[in-house]
Chains A and B, each alone.
Chain A
Amino acid sequence: MLFKISLSNIRKSLRDYTIYFFTLIIGVAIFYVFNAIGTQTAFLKVSESTREIIDILKTLLSGMSIFVSFILGLLIVYASRFLMKRRNNEFALYMLLGMGKAKISAILLIETMIIGIASLVCGLLIGTGLSQVMSALVVNLFDADMTAYRFTISGEAIIKTIIFFSIMYAVVMVFNSIVISKCKLINLIQSGRRSEKIKMKNPWLCTFVFIAATALLIWAYLTVNSETIFAKSMNLMIICIIAGAVATLLIFWSVSGLILRLVMSVKKLYFKSLNSFTFRQISSKINTMVVSMTLICLMLFVTIGTLSTAFSIRTSMNDSLKTLCNADAEFFGDNIDAKEDFDVVERFRKNGFDPVKYFDEYVTVSSNGLSNISIRDTMGEVADTNDSILITALMDMQEEVISLSEYNKAAEFLGNPTFTLDEDQYIIVCDMPTVDEMRNAALSTGTKITVNGHELSPKYKNVQEGYLIISAQHMNVGLIVVPDSVAEGFTATRSYLLGNYPEGDKETIRRTDEALINEYNSKIQGNYEQFVGNDKGLYVGLDTHLMISDSSIGLGAMATFLGLYLGIVFLISSAAVLALKELSETIDSIGRYDMIRKLGADEKEISRSLFAQTGIFFLIPMVLAVIHSVFGIKFAQNLLRAAGISNSISSLVATAIIILVIYGGYFIVTYLCSKSMIKERK
């Protein structure tokens, strides 16, 4: 009997439950998809280092799953409490008929169970389907072969999903029982009758609060984006974040009071068609959910920030690989004890290792790292004006000086621009974002430097793009290129060997790469003491394109997965709360729409009013979140720039598309559900 009641209840209130159910299914599916990534990647043919990154990724994803389940749990509790409130009259009827609270709890228990099981089954089915699509993304992100793909179902992820969601549903059941056991019949009966009280906030107070909140927000934006924020303590940043959150709350509070006043003051607008009704509805909705709106706005902000930053890291990594890593392998040696010109290849050969035999083409370059010219010298007058921690740390480092012909040799090999110089000129090659700003400041004033007794002035007012060490990021802090005649006086203390393997397919290149690394490790790194000999300050190193790309691809993939996971969960949570609220408001307003219809309003006007209500309701938190994001992303950019990562338009576009699809999807479903609710019933 109880089971029958539960089942028919669900069927009856299917409309109320649509969004709830929809959200649960998405939640289950997402949870499964991200936890199944481990299984999905198991069959991929990837290198050792990538495998390690995948393992780290798995651990991070399952750690994040706990956080995600916490968020989803909160959402489910919120949603179920919300749906229960709608049914107070029904519970009152049960109690009036003499049904005990235990039995009502039992009905709810069965309902939650039915919904739980149904959502798990549907969610897992959709999840398995989605995770096959995810496979394509996995293969793409890890740059693996698509040929190895096969249909996978992760038993581990299924069990994990079931356990986590069972716990969440259990919490909901306990919560519902507590609510039922505490409620009083009189409150249940009267719940529907209480008509809403409309309080108009004091407009002057609202205006004042709005201005104050805006000012606070601007302060937080500016502080967070100021050059010095990294130099100052962490506390300031936390204060900014709190200030931003408080300002958001105050803005919603004041806007809910102001928006109506504003529209009301424009009589032509307010008394046009259904506008008075529309704006009253909107304002009462915002009024009752200032806190939820704030949370939703902040969650949307986090979503935008996370997604765009994650995508930026990935695209930036991939782009950098194309421009900053144009050699298959590079040996680098620095010998500060060098008595004569240091040549890393010669040194290797002496120790029975000939790296050149692996290469189809190669070039060796040497430079001087003991120029006795510090960065402070090249900065000239600008030196004392900086307040960047990074540059302060670099100040006393010695500049690396290279002759024009040597540099051009390397640049040609790496596909970088080559240069010409007059006898009294120099160029600085540098690509690290924060450093090149300082250097540009110094160069534009024409700072002169003295190298080996020759006074040189800058050829360009800016630093030039280029590098000697292959990497995935902009890491070149500076290289001074001088005319050959000037460099003659130096002993070469640094030496580079850049090489490309013979052309071949991926497999062959990977084998060559492994063979090179193995021989280098056994003959040089394995006998390092013997290799160094008397030159205690000797340092050598090896970077290969594959090593760099593996780790940067891994990092990019990791960022993408974590960003997507967190971003999507936040996005559906906030959209679901908005949708639930909007739908329940619509149910409450059905009578109002009937009334308006009787007054002779066209169906079109009614739909337009509903569209405006739903649209503005969804738009308001999004608009503020976007404004937050403009500054938030700028901040993230500053943060990432130090790591040589720049934000790209494509990552913003990708973020916008994801948000548009999910958030927009919720909006459309909500609008259509609401529309069918207020349809004229015959």
Chain B
Amino acid sequence: MELLKIENIEKYYGNKSSLTKALDDVSFTVNKGEFVAIMGASGSGKTTLLNCISTIDRVTAGHIYLEDTDITKLKGKELNKFRRDKLGFIFQDFNLLDTLTAYENIALSLSIQKTPAKKIETAVTTVAEQLGITDVLKKYPYQMSGGQKQRVASARAIVTSPKIVLADEPTGALDSKSSKMLLERFNYLNQEHDTTIMMVTHDSFSASYASRVIFIKDGKLFNEISRGNSSRKEFFDKIIDVVTLLGGDVSDAL
């Protein structure tokens, strides 16, 4: 079932004299329950794409549909409502509020949604169990490791049961062990709870956890490969092949 449909979107920066096409006629779809990774070198436009989908940025042309809503037409209050009800965010630098405990950070996205206080408690404890952070719920961000912080951020993103979780380089600030743990959690959420995840990364290892990888180069769709029934190792090799094909600085990112 089609969840997200991106139709010929374009995004330009700058003015007439020096125009940068960050996104140039990009179209693709994401089905419900998919785990999609978007890969590309720095400056390829992958973060711009994510920002446009997450309504943080606006497209210059084209349409983005989530279910049946054209999110490029949303404004003001509708935009906020859309963001808090339909989307979940995970950022590279965690973006937890350092004055709140892990529990309160997760609860905040629910209380912004005006969820009654009674329901908040069960929701938070459930999601904490899923992500294995029950024992850090009372801690403040400065008392946690990077991996724990990112899992708390992930818990915050999924606790509202969003239609789609958008992750921007979620493993960017983590060591390899924490990265692996986080990605396994993503997999678990994706497979056991049918969470749709869209992850931007330049790391092939991270991408290999996805069910599909979309490559972007210079603002355009370059290639896309699906995992199908192959193992993660095989999928990883396939990704490496495409990355080699992409050539140039993307391989630097490896």
Q: Work out how many contacts link A and B, with CB atoms closer than 8 A.
A: 85
Q: Does B233 contact A (CB under 8 A)?
A: no
Q: Does A102 contact B (CB under 8 A)?
A: no
- Assess the B84–A196 pair: CB atoms within 8 A: no
A653 contacts the other chain (CB 8 A): no
Q: Given the complex, which residues of A lie within 8 Å of B52, measured CB to CB?
A: none
A277 contacts B by Cβ under 8 Å: yes
Say whether, besides A195-B98, A592-B97, A592-B99, A271 and B107 are in contact (CB < 8 Å): yes
One of B111-119, B203-211, B235-243, B244-252 at the interface: B111-119
With contact pairs A284-B99, A605-B112 given, residues A599 and B89 touching in the complex (Cβ less than 8 Å): yes
Q: Which residue of A lies closest to B56 (CB)?
A: A598
Complex Cα spacing A605 to B110, Å: 14
Residue-wise, chain B 75-97 has the 8 Å CB interface mask toward A (1 for contact) of 00100111111010100000101
A513 to B229, CA, bound (A): 115
Q: Which of B113, B140, B156 contacts A198 (CB 8 A)?
A: B140
A623 contacts partner chain B, Cβ-Cβ < 8 Å: no
Determine how close the nearest CB of chain B comes to the CB of A616; give it in whole angstroms.
15
**B66: Cβ under 8 A from any A Cβ:** no
Q: For residue A196, give the distance in angstroms from its CB to the closest CB of chain B.
A: 6
Whether the pair A267, B111 counts as a contact (CB closer than 8 A) is: no
What is the bound-complex CA distance between A384 and B97, given in angstroms?
69
Q: Are B109 and A599 in contact (CB under 8 A)?
A: yes
Establish whether residues A277 and B84, one from each chain, have CB atoms under 8 Å apart when the complex forms.
Answer: no
Contact call A600/B112, Cβ cutoff below 8 A: yes
Determine whether A276 belongs to the interface, using a CB cutoff of 8 Å to chain B. Answer: yes
Contact of A271 with B98 in the complex, beta carbons under 8 Å:
no
Contact of A596 with B112 at beta-carbon distance under 8 Å, contacts A195-B142, A196-B98 already known: yes
State in angstroms the CA–CA spacing of A196 and B99 once bound together. Answer: 8
Q: Is A141 an interface residue (CB 8 A)?
A: no
Q: Which of A249-281 contact B (CB under 8 A)?
A: 267-268, 270-277, 280-281
Q: For chain A, which range describes its interface: under 10, 10 to 19, 20 to 34, or 35 or more residues?
A: 20 to 34
Residues of B within 8 A of A (CB-CB), count: 34
Check A197 for interface membership: any CB of B closer than 8 A.
yes
Q: Who on chain A is nearest to B84 by CB?
A: A600
**For the complex, is B141 an interface residue (Cβ under 8 Å from A)?**
yes
What secondary structure prevails in chain B residues at the interface with A? helix
CA distance A274 to B80 in the complex (A): 14
In the complex, the answer to whether B99 meets A274 with C-beta atoms within 8 Å is: no
Closest-CB distance, B48 to chain A (whole angstroms): 14
A600 touches B83 (CB 8 A): yes
Known A277-B108, A280-B99: A195·B85 in contact at CB below 8 Å: no
**Residues of A with C-beta under 8 A to B142:** 195-197
Chain A residues, Cβ within 8 Å of B113: 600
* Minimal Cβ-Cβ distance residue in A for B113: A600
Q: Given A197-B142, A271-B117, are A601 and B80 neighbors across the interface (CB < 8 Å)?
A: yes
Interface pair A195/B112, CB less than 8 Å apart: no
Residues in chain B near residue A96, CB distance under 8 A: none
Query: B109's closest neighbor in chain A, by CB?
Result: A599
Instruction: Please determine whether A600 and B87 come into contact, CB atoms closer than 8 angstroms.
Output: yes
Q: Are A198 and B117 in contact (CB under 8 A)?
A: no
The listed residue (B82, B95, B100, B110) touching A277 by CB distance below 8 A is B100
Smallest beta-carbon distance B102→chain A, Å: 12
Rounded to whole angstroms, the CA-CA distance of A274 and B99 in the bound complex is 13
Nearest-CB residue, chain B, relative to A599: B109
Q: Do B97 and A601 touch (CB < 8 A)?
A: no
Is A274 a contact partner of B111 (Cβ separation < 8 A)?
yes
Whether a CB of chain A sits under 8 angstroms from the CB of B169 is no
A197, A267, A591, A602: the one within 8 Å of B117 (CB): A267
A-B contact pairs, 6 of them (CB 8 A): A267-B121, A271-B120, A274-B112, A280-B97, A596-B108, A601-B84
Which residues of A come within 8 Å of B, CB atoms? 195-198, 267-268, 270-277, 280-281, 284, 591-592, 595-596, 598-603, 605
A-B pairs, top 8 by smallest CB distance, nearest first, are A600-B84, A600-B83, A280-B99, A271-B117, A267-B117, A195-B142, A268-B117, A271-B111
